[in-house]
């Protein structure tokens, strides 16, 4: 907790009489900064009504408006964009779809080819299963690992992605590992893995040495080059397979192998529905962008790219909601781009269609199941109020600076209407 300097100073004063202490406390309290109006106000909705750049809509189960203000104006949605991405993925694949990654084996040269599928959930536990299955199928020695990342356009970085080393700025890649993040710690001046299930690889150590550690732990992304993420995957796989330093290269799987059945097909243990649930809870930008990139690649039959993502999102939404016209836009699936625009009414339209998957949203307040969104000067929240086992959709979109907890305060009040 941050100390209030006035009260910290008081503790250093010499002993005072009871009456004097009361007067000093009164003077100090009067000198404290004025708290934001939302804390003083009795109602979050009252505070909201005075905002100049904000919209809200809540409907009952019959579609009648319970609360509405500037509902048709388009706003930056931030991470409530992930509701759109989830809707697209569940309609495109269904909740039980599983990502598959193909492995090809050239026994003569002892080369393992890996064809990236854009699987967003290739975590260490999953890679260990892959390693065990490859060994079980007879692979003991590998001289070369060739990574085929042709499913995604080279150097792909989605709009809104920052240049920080934070996990939320992890770039997408056709072959990924641990959401393209590295988790390490420093023990006795030595770099160690901070995850028991993840080995410390050469690339992870190299990346960690570039940064100062805070609190002896560090979680970073794999960097701006998607190829580095693929290399990280190959290194983890090599450790699990106990390989002796195979060379790691990039290239396409030879056509002579692709015309045959893959040596091994790995089906992820998690379904799309099981991937979306943590994406919503932890607001994982990496998962969201992987999903829209893979969907657009399947639709347009070419390497996934940001232009196709925007077209795919717009065209697919217009097929279901033609009345939206040109009054919305999406540049990415995570909500990092400030070029994204959607109105509360459009978001509620989508939520009406999303009700069968409402259980995938986290309960952020009692009987409030929703996804939040935050950017500088943007605070949003959209989802459902659960009442009598029915889901009433709502969307709160504020494109100006407001207290962080205001959106939750408003949601609690909507739940009492």
105 contacts 263 by C-beta, under 8 angstroms: yes
What tokens were used for 222?
């794999």
Using the predicted structure, report yes or no on whether residue 271 has a pLDDT greater than 50: yes
* Mean pLDDT of the 363-370 span: 97
Residue with tokens 């979680």, as numbered in its chain: 219
DSSP codes, 39-89: HHSS-HHHHHHT-SSEEEEEE-TTS-EEEEESTTS-B--GGGHHHHHHHHH
User: How does DSSP classify residue 112?
Assistant: E
377 contacts 401 by C-beta, under 8 angstroms: yes
* Mean pLDDT of the 359-381 span: 98
* pLDDT tens, residue by residue, 246-267: 999 999 999 999 999 999 999 9
Contacts 24+ apart (CB under 8 A), 225-228: 225/155, 225/171, 226/149, 226/152, 226/154, 226/155, 226/156, 226/171, 226/172, 226/173, 226/174, 227/147, 227/149, 227/173, 228/203
* pLDDT at site 8: 31
Closest CA to 213 of 189, 178, 179: 189
Tell me what percent of the residues of the chain surpass a pLDDT of 70: 89
The residue ranking higher by pLDDT, 30 or 109, is 109
Q: Is the pTM of this model over 0.85?
A: yes
* Mean pLDDT of the 161-179 span: 97
* Mean pLDDT of the 111-119 span: 98
Count Cβ neighbours within 10 Å for each residue of 87-108 and write b for 16 or more, e otherwise.
bbbbebbebeebbebbbbbbee
- The CATH homologous superfamily to which domain 39-95+274-416 belongs is DD-peptidase/beta-lactamase superfamily (3.40.710.10)
* pLDDT at site 9: 28
What tokens were used for 111?
């080369």
* pLDDT tens, residue by residue, 127-144: 999 999 999 999 999 999
The residue ranking higher by pLDDT, 30 or 88, is 88
* pLDDT mean across residues, the chain: 91
What tokens were used for 152?
């995604």
> What is the CB neighbour count within 10 angstroms for residue 386?
16
User: How does DSSP classify residue 279?
Assistant: H
Number of helices (H) and strands (E), helices first, in the chain? Answer: 14, 14
* pLDDT tens, residue by residue, 292-335: 999 999 999 999 999 999 999 999 999 999 999 999 999 999 99
Closest CA to 330 of 214, 159, 154: 159
What tokens were used for 102?
């193909």
Tell me what percent of the residues of the chain surpass a pLDDT of 90: 87
* Mean pLDDT of the 274-300 span: 98
3 state DSSP class of 310: helix
| Three-state DSSP string of 138-201 | CCCCCCEEEEECCCECCCCCCCCCCCCCCHHHCCCCCCCCHHHEEEEEEECCEEEECCCCCCCC
Among the ranges given (33-42, 65-74, 148-157, 380-389), the one the predictor scored with the smallest mean pLDDT: 33-42
CA 156, chain centre distance (Å): 17
Closest CA to 55 of 405, 396, 412: 396
Using the predicted structure, report yes or no on whether residue 47 has a pLDDT greater than 70: yes
CA distance 411 to 273: 25
Q: Where do the CATH 3.40.710.10 domains begin and end in the chain?
A: 39-95+274-416
CA distance 3 to 331: 42
Among the ranges given (152-161, 183-192, 390-399), the one the predictor scored with the smallest mean pLDDT: 183-192
* pLDDT tens, residue by residue, 218-240: 999 999 999 999 999 999 999 99
* Mean pLDDT of the 171-191 span: 95
3 state DSSP class of 249: strand
Instruction: Give the pLDDT band of residue 150 (cuts 50, 70, 90).
Output: very high
* pLDDT at site 41: 53
* Mean pLDDT of the 29-53 span: 67
């Amino acid at each position: 907790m941050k100390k209030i300097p006035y009260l910290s100073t008081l503790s250093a004063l010499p002993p005072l009489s009871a009456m004097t202490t009361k007067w000093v406390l009164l003077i100090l309290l009067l000198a404290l900064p004025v708290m934001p109006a939302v804390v003083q106000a009795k109602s979050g909705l009252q505070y909201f009504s005075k905002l100049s750049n904000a919209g809200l809509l809540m409907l009952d189960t019959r579609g009648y408006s319970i609360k509405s203000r500037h509902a048709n104006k388009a706003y930056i949605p931030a991470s409530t964009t992930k509701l759109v991405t989830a809707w697209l993925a569940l309609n495109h694949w269904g909740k039980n779809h599983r990502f598959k990654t193909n492995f090809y084996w050239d026994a003569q040269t002892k080369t393992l080819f890996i064809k990236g599928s854009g699987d967003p959930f290739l975590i260490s536990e999953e890679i260990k299963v892959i390693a065990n299955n490859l060994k079980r199928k007879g692979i003991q020695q590998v001289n070369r690992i060739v990574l085929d990342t042709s499913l995604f356009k080279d150097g792909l970085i989605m709009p809104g992605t920052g240049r920080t080393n934070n996990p939320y700025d992890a770039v997408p890649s056709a072959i990924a590992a641990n959401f393209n993040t590295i988790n390490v710690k420093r023990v006795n001046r030595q770099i160690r893995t901070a995850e028991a299930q993840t080995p410390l690889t050469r690339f992870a150590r190299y990346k960690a040495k570039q940064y100062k550690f805070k609190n002896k732990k560090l979680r970073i992304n794999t960097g701006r080059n998607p190829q580095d993420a693929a290399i990280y995957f190959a290194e983890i796989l090599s450790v699990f397979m106990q390989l002796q330093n195979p060379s790691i290269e990039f290239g396409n799987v030879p056509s002579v192998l692709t015309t045959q059945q893959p040596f091994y097909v790995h089906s992820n243990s998690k379904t799309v529905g099981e991937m979306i649930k943590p994406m919503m809870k932890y607001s994982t930008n990496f998962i969201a962008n992987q999903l829209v990139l893979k969907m657009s690649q399947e639709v347009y039959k070419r390497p996934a790219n940001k232009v196709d993502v925007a077209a795919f999102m717009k065209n697919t939404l217009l097929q279901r909601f033609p009345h939206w016209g040109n009054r919305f836009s999406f540049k990415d699936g995570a909500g990092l781009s400030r070029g994204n625009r959607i109105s509360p009414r459009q978001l509620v339209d989508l939520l009406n269609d999303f009700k069968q998957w409402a259980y995938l949203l986290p309960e952020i307040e009692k009987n409030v199941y929703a996804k939040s969104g935050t950017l500088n000067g943007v605070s949003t929240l959209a989802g459902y109020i659960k009442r009598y086992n029915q889901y009433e959709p709502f969307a709160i979109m504020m494109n100006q600076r407001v207290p962080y907890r205001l959106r939750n305060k408003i949601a609690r009040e909507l739940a009492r209407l």
